[in-house]
Amino acid sequence: MKNVGIIYNARVPEALDLGTAILNDLNLSQESWLAPAENLGSLTPKAENTDLVITVGGDGTILRAVNFTGPAGIPVVGINMGRLGFMTELQVDEAMARLPYYINGGNGGPRTDERSMLQATVFKANGKGSEGPYHALNDVVLTRGAVSRVVTVAGVIDGAPLTTFRADGVIMSTATGSTSYNLAVGGPILDPESDALVLKTVAAHMGLSAALVLRSTSEVNLTLEGYQPAILSVDGYVDYPLDLGDRVQLKQSPHKARFLRSHPPSYFFGTLTRRLGFSIRGQ
C-alpha cells in the first residue's frame, strides 16, 4: 500500500473537503497525510516515505507542490479546481472514481510525464553574497516593482553579451511555462516535454523583443542596471527584491517535476485550444 501525500489549496474550502475525502475514503496507508500548499516547508522529512502526491486545487497548487516533490522524485497527480488546469490530470467530478488507477497502477499503470524545471540564483551587487537557488516549473520573471517604470537589464547567454533590455520585464520560462506568462506576451508554445528554455521580454522599449528559444544547457545571466529597482518572481508566488547591480543566474534545474498520466503525449495538443478558451470549428 502506497504512502500518499495530499496537498490542497487552503484558500478553496472545497479543496480541503475533497482532500479529506481522499484521505479517509480511498483506503490509503496510515502513513498518508494531508497538508495545505501554503505551508510545505515543514514537510521535507515526509518526502523519503511518500510514494505519490495528489494535489487538489489548480496549476498554482502544483507549482508550489513541485518544490517538495521535485527534489525527492515523487510523482504527482493533479485534480483541477482552477480555470485552465494545464498541468492537472483529473476533474473534481471524476477524481474519487479514477484515483485508484493512479494509486494502484491498474491496467499496466499510468505513464510518467517528466518536466524540466528552472534554477535561479541571485548574486548580490559588490560581492555581498548570494540568495537561492530557487526552483521553478513555469518561469522566473525579472520585473518592475510598484513604480510604473521600465527596468534596464543587461543580458548574457553562455558568457556572450546579448543586449541591454529596457522593458517592463524579462521572462525565462520552461516548456511547461510556455503556455503561461510567456504566451500572454506573444511567446511561442513549446512541446511540454521539451527541455528547451524560452527568453522573452515584456513590453520591450529597447533591445530585443523577439523570443529566444534556447537549448537546455544554456546559462542566462541578467544584471539589473539603470536606476530602477526590480523584483524577481519565481513561479508567481516567491517575490525577491532586486537592487541595482544584482545579477540573476538562470539555468536548467537539476530537479524534474514528474506527473502520472493516463493519456498519450499527444493529448496536450488535442486539448490545447479548449484549455486556452478557443473553439474549434464544428465542435
Q: Which residues pair with 52 in a beta bridge?
A: 4
Shared domain for 244 and 126, answered yes or no, is yes
pLDDT of 199 reads 97
- Of these ranges, 112-116, 123-127, 147-151, the one predicted with the greatest mean pLDDT is 112-116
In this structure, is residue 262 part of a structural domain? no
- Nearest alpha-carbon partner for 245 in 149, 128, 133, 166: 128
Max alpha carbon distance in the chain (Å)? 61
- In this structure, what CATH number is given to the domain that contains residue 105? 3.40.50.10330
Q: Which of 20-29, 233-242, 254-263, 269-278 has the lowest mean pLDDT?
A: 269-278
Final residue before a domain boundary, out of 62, 88, 109: 109
Q: Which of 129-138, 142-151, 239-248 has the lowest mean pLDDT?
A: 142-151
Is the pLDDT reported for residue 213 higher than 60?
yes
CA distance 87 to 117: 14
Shared domain for 81 and 65, answered yes or no, is yes
270 confidence band (pLDDT: 50, 70, 90)? confident
Shared domain for 37 and 164, answered yes or no, is no
In this structure, is residue 275 part of a structural domain? no
Shared domain for 87 and 165, answered yes or no, is no
> Which domain does 102 fall in, by range?
4-109
| Catalytic residue numbers, as ranges | 59
Is the pLDDT reported for residue 283 higher than 50?
no
What's the Cα-to-Cα distance from 114 to each of 9, 64, 84, 172, 278, rounded to whole Å?
A: 23, 17, 20, 19, 27
For 193-231, the DSSP string reads T---EEEEEES-SBS--S-EEE-TT--EEEEEESS--EE
- In this structure, what CATH number is given to the domain that contains residue 129? 2.60.200.30
Shared domain for 90 and 192, answered yes or no, is no
2 confidence band (pLDDT: 50, 70, 90)? confident
Neighbouring C-beta atoms of residue 125, cutoff 10 Å? 13
pLDDT of 95 reads 95
pTM, entire model: 0.90
Is the pLDDT reported for residue 190 higher than 50?
yes
Mean per-residue pLDDT, 165-191: 94
For 63-92, the DSSP string reads HHHHHHHHHHT-EEEEEE-SS--SS--EEH
Query: What is the enclosing helix (H) or strand (E) of 95?
Result: helix 92-104
Pairwise pLDDT comparison (144 vs 69), residue with the higher score: 69
In this structure, is residue 31 part of a structural domain? yes
Per residue in 80-105, pLDDT (tens digit) is 987 777 899 999 999 999 999 999 87
pLDDT of 280 reads 54
Shared domain for 123 and 87, answered yes or no, is no
Shared domain for 130 and 146, answered yes or no, is yes
pLDDT of 146 reads 65
Is the pLDDT reported for residue 279 higher than 60?
no
In this structure, is residue 280 part of a structural domain? no
In this structure, is residue 17 part of a structural domain? yes
In this structure, is residue 9 part of a structural domain? yes
pLDDT of 281 reads 52
Shared domain for 126 and 207, answered yes or no, is yes
pLDDT of 107 reads 64
In this structure, is residue 264 part of a structural domain? no
Shared domain for 95 and 123, answered yes or no, is no
Is the pLDDT reported for residue 1 higher than 90?
no
Q: How much is the mean pLDDT over the chain? A: 91
Place of cell 520560462: 173
Per residue in 34-78, pLDDT (tens digit) is 999 987 888 888 999 999 999 999 999 999 999 999 999 999 999
For 203, phi then psi, to 5°, come to 50, 60
Query: What is the enclosing helix (H) or strand (E) of 139?
Result: strand 139-144
Shared domain for 137 and 228, answered yes or no, is yes
What's the Cα-to-Cα distance from 173 to each of 57, 60, 144, rounded to whole Å?
A: 22, 15, 18
CA distance 170 to 182: 10
**Number of domains present in the structure of the chain:** 2
3-state secondary structure of 11: coil
The burial of 98, by beta-carbon neighbours within 10 Å (0-12 exposed, 13-18 middle, 19 or more buried), is given as: middle
DSSP state of 263: S
Shared domain for 126 and 104, answered yes or no, is no
In this structure, is residue 53 part of a structural domain? yes
